[in-house]
């Protein structure tokens, strides 16, 4: 009795932690993206929802950001590496039970986040809104993941570490530290220092977690999906060290016009521009690996998600250093352009790569084929076109706002002029969320619908063996 209870909740079945993580990620993505959609609609119809504090725009926004970042993306990442790391090390996950334990802990964090943030129980720092207790739990979860991943790599059956593992191991080392520093739970800092550390964290949750993990996943997926060897191992190492070196100090570029020390701004801006180097090497590597294989994008949806992600990554990383420079920042800062950029990174790049990993990993974990290819296509197009619409409308809105500030136009005037773009943004939200629901439906049908168990994939057998 006792053991069956444990088996049920802390299953030891190979691949179960990965699958549970991915499914939880999908579950939270629906809630978090849905919240983003409602918040987006409220920009066009501010009186649509009245007198419900939980559904007021700022509360929805807190939950939306934490829900997609810590719920959807992070959980999808962990789920993916729980599959990818063992498959690269040719062994099993170090402890499947520990993996499932983390999964529960993380889900409890998300329930707490949902309940707290929608009620405005926040620490009031962008990206670090979670209340202290939940912060501790996230740290525990991150440490258990790190133990699991390092344990798997330590007991590996191959000699050489593939570059993806470098990225995963690096991220699992520095992200818990960045998280602890970023929460500032133990210290109360004076205002501007609080801002500096806040943006150190705010940017590094992207730079030292979403980027390094996401790029590691791209390195894993592309050669496998195209069945072509990675173009250059040397380049991939250059990219890795470049990111490790230049990403961490860039945070202050979020507050270049506030009265923080000039030398810190200079460090941030210079490293931001230097980020071109790792980005170009990483992308050269990807696109050269694709050489002669581009045709596959037409038929292989998983690959198409991954390549779209790489493409958006290119655009994100061209925008980033451009915006960080003083003279562009002078003009564009504070506008919706930046919101567009944030979605380009998290939705365009990292959400697409997570989705690609999801589509790749799930059949291999469960041995079930996707219920419907048509639904995957619909998901792709809704998400892709929806995202383009969002990006374009936010960018135009941002340019109007920026012009408004630069020419000293009153807010009341330009805020009327960007109303059409708020509206388009709401429509784009409908498309993206609809795509995500189609995705969820497809997953549901695949896993729980009637289907004959087809071939378990070769790599899955390898895990079991």
Q: Which residues from 389-448 bind ligand HEC, rule CB under 6 A?
A: 411-412, 415
Residues 297-356 that bind another protein (CB under 8 A): 330, 333-336, 338-339
Residues 47-66 that bind ligand HEC (CB under 6 A): 57-58
Which are the contacts of 289, defined by CB distance < 8 A and separation ≥ 6? 222, 223, 226, 228, 229, 230, 231
CB 67, CB 27: distance < 8 Å: no
Query: Measuring CA to CA, how many Å separate 324 from each of 126, 128, 252, 334, 427?
Result: 19, 22, 9, 13, 30
Supply the minimum distance, in Å, between the C-beta of residue 424 and ligand HEC.
17
CB atoms within 10 A of CB 113: 24
Binding mask 360-399 for another protein (x = CB under 8 A): ----------------------------------------
CB atoms within 10 A of CB 203: 24
Supply the minimum distance, in Å, between the C-beta of residue 233 and ligand HEC.
48
Residue 415 interacts with another protein (CB under 8 A): yes or no: yes
CB 86, CB 152: distance < 8 Å: yes
Instruction: Give the one entry of another protein, ligand HEC, none that residue 407 binds, where binding means its C-beta sits below a cut-off of 5 to 8 angstroms depending on kind.
Output: another protein
Q: Number of residues interacting with ligand HEC: please give it, by CB under 6 A.
A: 5
Residue 124 interacts with ligand HEC (CB under 6 A): yes or no: no
Residue 239 interacts with another protein (CB under 8 A): yes or no: no
- Please report, to the nearest 10 degrees, the dihedral formed by the alpha carbons of residues 21, 287, 242, 262 taken in order: -100
Q: Which stretch binds another protein (CB under 8 A): 37-45, 70-78, 81-89, 383-391?
A: 37-45
Instruction: Give the one entry of another protein, ligand HEC, none that residue 10 binds, where binding means its C-beta sits below a cut-off of 5 to 8 angstroms depending on kind.
Output: none
Contacts 24+ apart (CB under 8 A), 36-40: 36/60, 36/61, 36/64, 36/68, 36/429, 36/433, 37/426, 37/429, 37/430, 37/432, 37/433, 39/64, 40/422, 40/425, 40/426, 40/429
Residues 104-133 that bind another protein (CB under 8 A): 120-126
CB 367, CB 454: distance < 8 Å: yes
Instruction: Give the one entry of ligand HEC, another protein, none that residue 52 binds, where binding means its C-beta sits below a cut-off of 5 to 8 angstroms depending on kind.
Output: another protein
Instruction: Give the one entry of ligand HEC, another protein, none that residue 348 binds, where binding means its C-beta sits below a cut-off of 5 to 8 angstroms depending on kind.
Output: none
Supply the minimum distance, in Å, between the C-beta of residue 55 and ligand HEC.
13
- Please report, to the nearest 10 degrees, the dihedral formed by the alpha carbons of residues 287, 290, 294, 296 taken in order: -140
Residue 56 interacts with another protein (CB under 8 A): yes or no: yes
Residue 262 interacts with ligand HEC (CB under 6 A): yes or no: no
For ligand HEC, give the closer residue by CB, 415 or 457.
Answer: 415
Instruction: Give the one entry of another protein, ligand HEC, none that residue 295 binds, where binding means its C-beta sits below a cut-off of 5 to 8 angstroms depending on kind.
Output: none
3-state secondary structure (DSSP) of residue 52:
coil
Instruction: Give the one entry of another protein, ligand HEC, none that residue 173 binds, where binding means its C-beta sits below a cut-off of 5 to 8 angstroms depending on kind.
Output: another protein
DSSP state letter for 447: H
Residues that bind ligand HEC (CB under 6 A): 57-58, 411-412, 415
């Amino acid at each position: 009795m006792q053991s069956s209870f444990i088996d049920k909740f802390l299953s030891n079945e190979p691949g179960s932690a990965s699958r549970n993580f991915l499914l939880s990620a999908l579950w939270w993505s629906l809630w978090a993206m849905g919240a983003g959609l409602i918040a987006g609609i409220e920009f066009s119809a501010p009186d649509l929802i009245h007198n419900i504090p939980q559904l007021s725009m700022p509360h929805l926004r807190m939950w939306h950001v934490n829900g997609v970042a810590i719920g959807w993306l992070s959980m999808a990442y962990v789920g993916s590496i729980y599959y990818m790391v063992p498959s690269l090390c040719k062994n099993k996950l170090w402890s499947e039970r520990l993996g499932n334990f983390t999964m529960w802990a993380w889900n409890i964090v998300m329930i707490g986040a949902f309940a707290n943030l929608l009620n405005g129980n926040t620490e009031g720092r962008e990206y670090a809104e979670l209340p202290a207790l939940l912060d501790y739990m996230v740290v525990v979860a991150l440490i258990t993941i790190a133990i699991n991943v390092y344990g798997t790599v330590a007991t590996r059956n191959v000699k050489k570490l593939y570059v993806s593992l470098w990225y995963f191991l690096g991220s699992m080392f520095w992200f818990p530290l960045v998280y602890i520093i970023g929460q500032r739970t133990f210290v109360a800092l004076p205002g501007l220092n609080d801002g500096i550390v806040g943006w150190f964290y705010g940017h590094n949750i992207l730079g030292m977690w979403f980027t390094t993990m996401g790029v590691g996943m791209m390195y894993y997926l592309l050669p496998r999906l195209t069945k072509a060897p990675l173009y250059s191992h040397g380049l991939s190492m250059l990219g890795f060290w470049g990111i490790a070196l230049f990403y961490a100090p860039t945070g202050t570029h979020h507050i270049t016009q506030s009265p923080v020390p000039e030398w810190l701004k200079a460090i941030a801006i210079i490293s931001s521009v230097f980020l071109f180097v790792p980005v170009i090497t990483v992308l050269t590597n990807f696109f050269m690996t694709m050489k002669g294989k581009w045709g596959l994008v037409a038929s292989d949806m998983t690959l198409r998600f991954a390549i779209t992600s790489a493409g958006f990554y290119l655009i994100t990383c061209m925008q980033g250093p451009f915006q960080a420079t003083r003279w562009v920042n002078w003009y564009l800062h504070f506008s919706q352009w930046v919101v567009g950029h944030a979605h380009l990174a998290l939705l365009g790049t990292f959400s697409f790569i997570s989705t690609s990993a999801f589509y790749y990993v799930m059949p291999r974990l469960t041995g079930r084929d996707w219920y419907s290819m048509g639904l995957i296509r619909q998901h792709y197009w809704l998400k892709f076109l929806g995202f383009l619409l969002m990006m374009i409308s936010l960018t135009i809105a941002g340019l109007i706002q920026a012009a408004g500030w630069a020419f000293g136009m009153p807010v009341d005037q330009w805020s009327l002029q960007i109303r059409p773009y708020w509206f388009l943004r709401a429509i784009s939200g409908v498309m993206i969320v609809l795509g995500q629901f189609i995705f969820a439906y497809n997953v549901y049908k695949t896993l729980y619908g009637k289907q004959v168990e087809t071939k378990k994939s070769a790599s899955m057998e390898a895990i079991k063996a």
